[in-house]
Amino acid sequence: MTVGYTEEHIRTLEWKEHIRLRPGMYIGKLGDGSSQDDGIYVLLKEVMDNSVDEYMMGYGKEIDVTITDREVKVRDYGRGIPLGKVLDAVSKMNTGAKYDSKVFKKSVGLNGIGVKAVNALSSKFIIRSIREGQVKALEFSRGNLVKDEPLQPCNEPDGTEVTFMPDPELFGHYHYISEYVDNMLKTYVYLNSGLVINFNGNRYCSKNGLVDLLNDNMNREGLYPVIHLRGDDIEVAFTHGMQYGEEYYSFVNGQHTTQGGTHLAAFREAIVKTVREFYKKDYDPSDIRSSIIAAISVKIEEPVFESQTKTKLGSKDMAPGGPSVRNFVMEFIKKHLDDYLHKNPETARILLKKIQDSEKERKAIASIQKLARERARKVSLHNKKLRDCRVHYNSNEPNKLDSTLFITEGDSASGSITKSRNVETQAVFSLRGKPLNTYGLTKKIVYENEEFNLLQAALNIEDGIENLRYNNIVIATDADVDGMHIRLLLLTFFIQFFPELIRKGHLYILQTPLFRVRNSKETRYCYTEEEKRQAIKDLGPNPEITRFKGLGEISPDEFRHFIGKDMRLEPVRMKKDDTVNGFLEFYMGKNTPERQDFIIENLRIEEDIVEEELIRE
């Protein structure tokens, strides 16, 4: 069949049409708010970046943020947008003051796009600019101007106020998770000492910069006091802990570069080089960096990022014609860290012991690593434990935003998900039996235990999570006692050996319906007893009620509803206040009278709930 190709096939999209048609180009992905990199948080960040840039330039010390239901309001006390250019600033692409480096020398939002994306992707967008006793207000809906208020006198302080509501047509039934917003706003104050952010009644500020950031993200004290180094256009803080892996927080001009980039690569290299030279021994880089928790912030003129969402720095130089990022970071770390270690011999002693302990453990498992990797390769090929998706990966782009690995139990559940999944982006890993309880064990067990060795190989995290093959790791187990036990064993494994997967928001629990309620006209899937009761009430007398006891009982055709665009995922989150060791000891350690009492008491509560349900029905 021949398809016509004439002048009428050539279209020029308006700015708002293009943003709404290709939102991924501007905000990464959409999402419903369950993941911290979902688009609704990017919209908030784009507005916040403008307000923080004002503070960085010396204007406005406070920012007020309010989120009520789905409406977001951000009010800063900077200079305000020039009143005659408010319309252009929020509705004309490639328009903004940040092209003039004299005004915004080291800014994040250089492309003149961010707030336009917020406008186009919001069902309601209101901007008010207050400047020199006057206010200019505009209201939009999905990028279309619906109200243009004339200039009015005003006695409010100068600044800009943006109110927006992400469009449910694009983001679905979304919701903001306060914890994710808290983390974002706290990061702003850590990177801008003196800035105050007020969010829904909470007040955030920081005196110690990146030291406060590390302390707020550590469950226990480091092995030695945080090393804090500051210089022109660079700040570094780090210590070592007892956790596995490496944990980094990297920033450029206040932007959290979650995928690192040239500055983080230089820092990791500089740490190794400086430590080797200080101790005069050629230690393996993995032994030096194992268990490190670190933060680095740099300020660069006209930064170049590898995507519009600015998650990875691509700049080679600190400024046009200036030193390279690598040399700048290397020279700073070499001088200041070497000086610090000489002046703090006790810290140097503790660091050396940590490196030596890591070296011993690495050598202890080295003999079995090769055998374990070969076994993983053969089993994956012949037993098909991993049913991969078609998304192609490479070392330069390891985290595909939409890629998902479901970890399932048993052949029936694995079969249902495999038949129902989107083969382009969704993969399935099938467990055999219950995994090992890894609490209190060393990482050597990962290679000796076949299931965990294969899972680690499937995720490609043997050498850290930098090359993680799937952005979303979803534990998909039955909602019965055995399924809950397997879920807990998997959580123990990830918490014990790969906590950074959780901290970076990669781990989820799949929520599947407990009941199906239907009549001849409608079918409802219910995830709770309350939803079931409501469905029975809505569908009238005597509907058919099915209780799903396991994932394998749900047909592939039905399963497509639960792992498609409306998939319900519960993110696994860790906060500083979570006493992880106490939690694991209580639930996964040796049996204790306290745990037995807890089980008995909660069994009684469950029995009481069931009895009440029976009486009610």
Q: Which of 406, 370, 511, 489 is nearest to 441 (CA)?
A: 489
Taking all residues of the chain, what is their mean pLDDT, rounded to a whole number? 82
Q: Is residue 343 part of a domain?
A: yes
Instruction: Decide if 76 is catalytic.
Output: no
Q: What is the pLDDT of residues 274-297, one digit of tens each?
A: 999 999 999 999 999 988 999 999
Contacts of 339 (CB under 8 A, 6+ apart): none
Residues 528 and 560 in one domain: no
Q: Is residue 2 part of a domain?
A: no
Looking at 179-188, 189-198, 229-238, 392-401, which range is the least confident one?
Answer: 392-401
Q: Which residue has the higher pLDDT, 468 or 337?
A: 337
Strands 426-431 and 472-476: unpaired
CA distance 74 to 57: 18
Kindly report the CA angle at 346 between 344 and 349, in degrees rounded to 5? 115
Q: Taking residues 76-95, report their average pLDDT.
A: 83
Max distance between CA atoms of the chain, in angstroms, equals 81
Whole-structure pTM over 0.75, yes or no? no
Residues 323 and 270 in one domain: yes
Looking at 444-453, 513-522, 530-539, which range is the least confident one?
Answer: 444-453
**Confidence at residue 110, expressed as pLDDT on a 0 to 100 scale:** 41
Kindly state the tokens that stand for 513. Answer: 């319906």
Q: What is the pLDDT of residues 552-600, one digit of tens each?
A: 777 888 888 888 877 888 888 776 544 455 566 656 666 666 666 666 6
Contacts of 110 (CB under 8 A, 6+ apart): 98, 99, 104, 302, 303
The torsion angles phi and psi of 347, rounded to 5 degrees, stand at -65, -40
| pLDDT range class, residue 377, cuts 50, 70, 90 | low
Residues 223 and 292 in one domain: yes
Cβ atoms 256, 191 nearer than 8 A: no
Domains in the chain, number: 4
CATH number at residue 272: 3.30.230.10
Residues 415 and 519 in one domain: no
Q: Taking residues 373-392, report their average pLDDT.
A: 66
| pLDDT range class, residue 354, cuts 50, 70, 90 | very high
Q: Which residue has the higher pLDDT, 17 or 233?
A: 233
- Catalytic choice (46, 76, 247, 409): 409
- Long-range pairs of 167-173 with CB within 8 A, sequence gap ≥ 24: 167/121, 167/122, 167/123, 167/142, 168/70, 168/123, 169/123, 170/20, 170/23, 170/30, 170/121, 171/30, 171/31, 171/32, 171/33, 171/39, 171/40, 171/121, 172/30, 172/32, 172/565, 172/566, 173/32
The side-by-side arrangement of strands in the sheet containing 544-547 is 523-526, 515-518, 544-547
CATH number at residue 47: 3.30.565.10
Q: Is residue 375 part of a domain?
A: no
Q: How many CA atoms lie within 13 A of 276 on its CB side?
A: 13
Q: Is residue 367 part of a domain?
A: no
Q: Taking residues 431-437, report their average pLDDT.
A: 83
Q: Single out the residue in 203, 229, 256 at which a domain terminates.
A: 203
The pLDDT of residue 378 is above 70: no
Residues 177 and 221 in one domain: no
Highest mean pLDDT among 129-133, 493-497, 592-596: 129-133
The torsion angles phi and psi of 192, rounded to 5 degrees, stand at -140, 75
| pLDDT range class, residue 76, cuts 50, 70, 90 | very high
Strands 247-252 and 255-256: antiparallel
Contacts of 302 (CB under 8 A, 6+ apart): 101, 110, 315, 319, 320
End-to-end CA distance of the chain: 61
Residues 40 and 58 in one domain: yes
Residues 237 and 158 in one domain: no
Residues 399 and 280 in one domain: no
Residue 578 Cα to chain centre, angstroms: 18
Q: Is 158 helix (H, G, I), strand (E, B) or coil?
A: coil
Q: State the burial class of residue 89 (Cβ atoms within 10 Å of its Cβ: 0-12, 13-18, 19+).
A: buried
The pLDDT of residue 244 is above 90: no
The pLDDT of residue 544 is above 80: yes
CA distance 477 to 458: 18
Q: Single out the residue in 323, 358, 393 at which a domain terminates.
A: 358
The pLDDT of residue 398 is above 60: no
Cβ atoms 316, 324 nearer than 8 A: yes
> What DSSP state is assigned to residue 509?
E
In which region does residue 357 sit, left (phi positive, over 0), alpha (psi from -120 to 50) or beta (all else)? Answer: alpha
CA distance 148 to 83: 12
Q: Taking residues 409-418, report their average pLDDT.
A: 77
Residues 190 and 271 in one domain: no
Q: Which residue has the higher pLDDT, 283 or 371?
A: 283
Instruction: Decide if 37 is catalytic.
Output: no
**Confidence at residue 309, expressed as pLDDT on a 0 to 100 scale:** 60
Q: Taking residues 132-151, report their average pLDDT.
A: 91
> Amino acid identity of 196?
V
CA distance 443 to 365: 8
**Confidence at residue 397, expressed as pLDDT on a 0 to 100 scale:** 47
| pLDDT range class, residue 103, cuts 50, 70, 90 | very low
Q: Which residue has the higher pLDDT, 334 or 503?
A: 334
Residues 194 and 260 in one domain: no
Q: Is residue 378 part of a domain?
A: no
Q: Which domain holds residue 136?
A: 15-203
Instruction: Decide if 409 is catalytic.
Output: yes
Q: Is 122 helix (H, G, I), strand (E, B) or coil?
A: strand
Q: Is residue 598 part of a domain?
A: no
CA distance 486 to 477: 7
Residues 402 and 502 in one domain: yes
> What DSSP state is assigned to residue 317?
B
Instruction: Decide if 480 is catalytic.
Output: yes
In order of 247, 276, 277, 347, the CA distances from 338 in angstroms are 22, 10, 9, 12
Q: Which residue has the higher pLDDT, 232 or 447?
A: 232
Q: Is residue 410 part of a domain?
A: yes
The torsion angles phi and psi of 95, rounded to 5 degrees, stand at -125, 130
Q: Single out the residue in 169, 203, 237 at which a domain terminates.
A: 203
Q: Which of 57, 60, 153 is nearest to 102 (CA)?
A: 57
- Catalytic choice (169, 221, 374, 480): 480
Kindly state the tokens that stand for 64. Answer: 């007020």
- Catalytic choice (482, 557, 611, 613): 482
Q: Is residue 287 part of a domain?
A: yes
Cβ atoms 512, 488 nearer than 8 A: no
Residues 249 and 301 in one domain: yes
Percentage with pLDDT > 70 across the chain: 81
> What DSSP state is assigned to residue 525?
E
| pLDDT range class, residue 382, cuts 50, 70, 90 | very low
> What DSSP state is assigned to residue 301?
S
